[in-house]
A and B are shown apart, each in its own frame.
Chain A
Amino acid sequence: MKSVMVYCEVENQKVADISLELLSAGKRLAQKLGCPLDAMIFGSGLNGIESQIAPYGVDRLFIGNSMRLEPYRTLPHAALATQILKEEDPQIVLFGATSVGRDLAPRLASQLNCGLTADCTILDIGDHFEKKEKIEYKDLLYAIRPAFGGSIMANIINWDMHPQMATVREGVMKKEIFDENYSTEIVEIDVNSVLKEEDFVVKIIERHIKKSGVNLKDAPIIVSGGYGVGSKENFQYLIELAKLLGGEVGGSRAAVDAGFIDHDRQIGQTGTTVRPKLYIAAGISGAIQHTAGMQDASMIISINNDPDAPINKLADYVINGDVGVVVPKMIKYYKENAK
């Protein structure tokens, strides 16, 4: 049956944000295709979990409920997902580009012998005319992503080996309730009949997950630095400004690679996608890799000593100058003028 399927991540009875975002994206695709939206979720203590999922417009929810399915391990989740995907044969399958999704999706793509596009920033439906075969393929998934260090956008399609799979980073798709009272059909999977002992050969000995980490996604103001900040010392100005404005500090991939800032503060296609009220880009040139993760900010200030930096075209304010000169002045005049 033609459908869109979303693999949902869950821990301690809470469905991950990325999965709800994917359900919203999946619903939009399903509506374009005129087909159902399905989801699968494997974890422990999942009775009633559908209440978190149904409002996103899910038609059928496949549940694997067992102590042995949480925390996530590759082989049991892969075995259950393979079984469902083989039986249901969906047209499109979506995964979060998380530690879990990036571990599971490629294993499934190999198992099902199908295509998988990583870190998509746009998902759409469209047609493709294949010149060699002179065949028009209708209603394909357009999996669009920045490629090659973010210098280009590529539209990846797959017309002959189904399903079409894609992963998406957290924060890229917008979470939208479809209908608070949507009714979802529950399909319980007989976990023990699918799983074998050898699916559990990898054992988790210890596990430490940070409850609260950096929360860039919900920060109203983000002060972000790139390679042009020049040094870890100059980054201190950004940290001070962010603190003063009640915001968070972020950075481009180049700043992370240069060791100016921690990896968990990276903004962009392979980091976090943000939509703050104000985004201050300091010494960031604006590769697509980065702008894909911040272009929806309501207001953008670019501080750069290159007047032709690509990011200036997105900006509302462009300040031509050095980060080390401009940011201390911003701190000074904010302190003088704010009440």
Chain B
Amino acid sequence: MDLAFTKEEQAFREEVRSFFRGNVPPDTRRKLVEGRHLSKDEMVTWWRILNKKGWGTSHWPTQYGGTGWTSVQHYIFNEELQSYPAPQPLAFGVSMVGPVIYTFGNEEQKKQYLPRIANVDDWWCQGFSEPGSGSDLASLKTKAERKGDKWIINGQKTWTTLAQHADMIFCLCRTDNNAKKQMGISFIVFSMKSKGVTVRPIQTIDGGVEVNEVFFDDVEVPVENLIGEENKGWDYAKFLLGNERTGIARVGVSKERLRRIRDLAGKVESGGKPIIQDAAFREKLAACEIELKALELTQLRVVADEGKHGKGKPNPASSVLKIKGSEIQQTTTELLMEVIGPFAAPYDVHGDDGSNEAMDWTAQIAPSYFNNRKVSIYGGSNEIQRNIIAKAVLGL
């Protein structure tokens, strides 16, 4: 057991950090620090810088453009990226559909899609959840019927993140109504510009528009857009969700936010002195920092374990990451609310193009608090995570 980073790992951290310093557009960084939404252009610009460096699809196998880093290097890269902060690669493309395509797709599909995912020539979105299928995802009803050389798709998806920007969607569709619910699902990809696709934005309680409803009305999709085998889509979906075990803790994001809280708490006054001098506040902040340190170590244990023993058998501690990671993210937004006090109230609906530069830094704090309630709901709610621990780890 050796719990310190090696010299090589420390040097790697420096390399990554100095690349971010030199290459993340300063305005992009500032908006992230202030909790603002970025425009599509700002995100794509950064992702192309990252891709040019060869780091856009870092965890892909090297033959498809990955870096061949160790799992500890991936951890360091992510932590530095999140805590700089810089925008994370578009998960729907790079972490979700990309690995499904290079693992289960045919050569033609790999050639067609992978380079465009890496360079974000196509913006991908995820067509999984439906109005009646949240935690019980396998009950989904969106239908794909084979007619000649086409799939005819009808149905509705919801909570489709950033679908308003999307060029492509990967979609779970029912292709066999008679099979057991997990068995009759296929993984089909198609253009969001197809006739019969309608996107309707959903405004969330923070006032922003991140998620959408997506309607399919007799959408015609070429048969070759099926990924892998017909009716095996559930397996690919499980593979896809299993891929993001360690990123979900978002330790770097919380670290960055805690630094910001410390900074603001040194400036905002309460009782005639900076709020950081208030013992009760200071202890709450320390408590959150301690929890985050524990989570960081838990994440490192999972990362080191994967590096040594492969990703096949998940480390039992990995189940902790989603639950604790989301709780801590939420606590950081609560602490920001506490710092800002009565100035949390002024309302200012932000556009998702990030153009409202005149806004005071306080304006994003309440929306960010409201918005972060989502993190314990998405990606398998924390209650579902507890079910998983009970079954898979404790054998209950």
The reply to whether chain A is a binding partner of chain B is no
Residues of B at the A interface (CB closer than 8 Å) are none
Residues of A at the B interface (CB closer than 8 Å) are none
